[in-house]
């Protein structure tokens, strides 16, 4: 019996030593209900997951020719679904950017002249922008980086199925932004010219004509 103890003690010590080394000197903690783990390059680790630099610092990836956008998906049941959702998010962000920058300049021209009722409504602006954004080109020509997180939650005594969250870095050409900008102005001019044809007084007609000329100037100046 003493002989067995003498043999067993070194084996036990060696086992504890290996475990301590593998866990950085910390004892392994049993997972608790609600715990989340994510897959890193060197294996599964507790939440939060790792992310590439471009996810949080997209601005430094913009250039004179391109604007950087990062699409982020909702957690999905497959990598393919996550990537599809991330590209949808990119389209929405490019659309929102155009509406905020180009759209506000167009609105200002009309608002200064008291033509608020002739301003394109947000839904129309969004429709114009999304129609002009080539989603196929985004996924095939303009994507620079892709990254997919894989995470699991501990529920009912076991790790759940893996959920996937995708990130895509898209460098969208400023020439494409310019094209959408011009298209939005053209749609606003179309509405103004329709209002001109219906205008009942000279003052209203004059304001619409001035707005139309200023929009034409804005279109030629570029984005």
What was the pLDDT predicted at 76?
Answer: 97
**DSSP H/E element including 20:** helix 2-22
Between CA 2 and CA 5 the distance in angstroms is: 5
48 preceded by cis ω (within 30°)? yes
Helix axes 79-112, 174-198, angle to 10 degrees: 50
Between CA 135 and CA 90 the distance in angstroms is: 9
195 preceded by cis ω (within 30°)? no
DSSP state at residue 76: B
Q: Say if strands 43-46 and 66-72 run parallel, antiparallel, or are unpaired.
A: unpaired
Between CA 55 and CA 87 the distance in angstroms is: 14
Token pair, residue 135, equals 């989603």
CA 217 distance to own-chain centroid: 32
What is the number of other CB atoms lying within 10 angstroms of the CB of residue 116? 9
**DSSP H/E element including 177:** helix 174-198
- Give this prediction's pTM: 0.77
The answer to whether 184 touches 106, Cβ cutoff 8 Å, is yes
Between CA 177 and CA 181 the distance in angstroms is: 6
pLDDT per position in the chain (223 positions), as tens?
444 334 444 433 334 333 444 444 455 578 899 999 999 988 999 998 889 999 999 999 999 999 999 999 999 999 999 999 999 999 999 999 988 887 888 888 889 888 888 888 888 888 888 888 877 788 888 999 999 999 999 999 999 999 999 999 999 999 999 998 899 899 999 999 998 888 888 888 999 999 999 999 888 876 6
């Amino acid at each position: 019996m003493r002989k067995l103890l003498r043999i067993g003690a070194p084996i036990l010590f060696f086992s504890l030593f290996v475990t301590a080394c593998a866990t950085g000197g910390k004892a392994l903690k049993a997972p608790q209900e609600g715990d989340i783990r994510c897959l890193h390059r060197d294996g599964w680790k507790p939440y939060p997951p790792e992310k590439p630099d471009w996810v949080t610092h997209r601005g430094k990836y913009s250039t004179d020719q391109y604007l950087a956008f990062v699409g982020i998906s909702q957690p999905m049941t497959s990598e393919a679904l996550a990537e599809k959702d991330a590209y949808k998010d990119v389209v929405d962000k490019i659309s929102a950017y155009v509406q905020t920058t180009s759209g506000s300049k167009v609105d200002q021209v009309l608002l200064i002249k008291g033509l608020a009722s002739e301003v394109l409504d947000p839904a129309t602006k969004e429709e114009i922008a999304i129609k002009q954004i080539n989603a196929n080109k985004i996924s095939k020509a303009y994507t620079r980086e892709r990254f997919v997180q894989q995470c699991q939650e501990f529920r009912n005594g076991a790790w759940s199925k893996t959920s996937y969250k995708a990130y895509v870095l898209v460098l969208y050409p400023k020439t494409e932004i310019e094209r959408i900008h011009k298209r939005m102005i053209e749609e606003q001019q179309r509405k103004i010219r329709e209002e001109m044809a219906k205008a009942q007084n000279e003052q209203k007609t004059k304001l619409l004509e001035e707005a139309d000329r200023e929009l034409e100037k804005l279109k030629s100046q570029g984005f």
